[in-house]
Amino acid sequence: MIKRTLFVFDFDHTLIDNNVDTWIMSVHPTLTVQKDMHSLRKRYPCWTDLMDHTAGLIHDKGVSKAELISHVRQAKLYEQAHKAITAVGKARHADAIIVSDANTLFIEHILTECGVRQVFKDIFSNPAHFDSTDRLHIQHYHSHSCPHCSANLCKGQVLTDYLNSRPAYSKVVYVGDGKGDYCPALRLSDNDVLVCRKGYTLAGMIQDNEQSCKAKTMVIDFVESLGDTIISMCL
């Protein structure tokens, strides 16, 4: 039986050179979420709860569902990210999933807009939906007790559960940038590869705790070379 490689991608600052949550804060000129961020973070210590609150503010400003989706779709993949995804999609013995602390609706729309949604077998992120008034709601992905992760999502648990249910993978290539990617990094084996974005939180955490991650670690500039790096792993 031919073993396969699983490519696991974060989304914000990994496949887009931006944070789609903060991106939508610019959808209306009088929205003051970024200005009021300090006080709002005290009220909503969990980022997902803050984003659900932000979605309510956007709705109150009269922004329509179509306008919000159109704004989201402008947060496109950068060239090297598109190149990376295309390479995995063409590889004979590789699959790809996304594990992200953004939300399912935003990710689906951006990937579809960029013509690469079909490459990903699964997307694991916070559920999002519009209600009958076209107000967007963003919910926690699950509850957990992991000390490393935010209250709404443990990426490490998602990765472990996925691999346990699909034993065909001989290697995992995990690509990420942030604090939330540290937990899954700790669960990688010495046969796996961790690709960190240079200058971002994950790379610093791995450097400060060199013995914590068993996987081969690569620290690269995603915008300059992510696609070329992933292509080399698909050959």
Dump pLDDT digits (tens) for 158-207.
Answer: 999 999 998 789 999 999 999 999 999 999 999 999 999 999 999 999 99
| 94 burial type by CB count under 10 A (0-12 exposed, 13-18 middle, 19+ buried) | buried
Q: Which of 22-36, 109-123, 135-149 has the lowest mean pLDDT?
A: 22-36
Predicted pLDDT at 1: 64
- Spot the catalytic one: 10, 95, 177, 181: 10
Distance from chain centroid for Cα 201: 14
Q: At residue 210, does pLDDT exceed 80?
A: no
- How far apart are the C-alpha atoms of 130 and 128, rounded to whole Å? 7
- How far apart are the C-alpha atoms of 50 and 37, rounded to whole Å? 9
Active site residue 10: yes
Q: At residue 45, does pLDDT exceed 70?
A: yes
pLDDT category of residue 228 using cuts at 50, 70 and 90: very high
Please report the domains of the chain, with CATH numbers, ordered by start residue.
Answer: 4-17+77-125+142-234 (3.40.50.1000), 21-73 (no CATH)
Distance from chain centroid for Cα 189: 21
Predicted pLDDT at 56: 97
Indicate the helix (H) or strand (E) that contains 122.
strand 120-126
Q: How much is the CA Rg of the chain, to the nearest whole Å? A: 18
* Confidence (pTM): 0.96
| 49 burial type by CB count under 10 A (0-12 exposed, 13-18 middle, 19+ buried) | middle
Active site residue 52: no
Question: Around Cβ 207, how many Cβ atoms within 10 Å?
Answer: 11
Question: What phi, psi does 154 have (nearest 5°)?
Answer: -105, 105
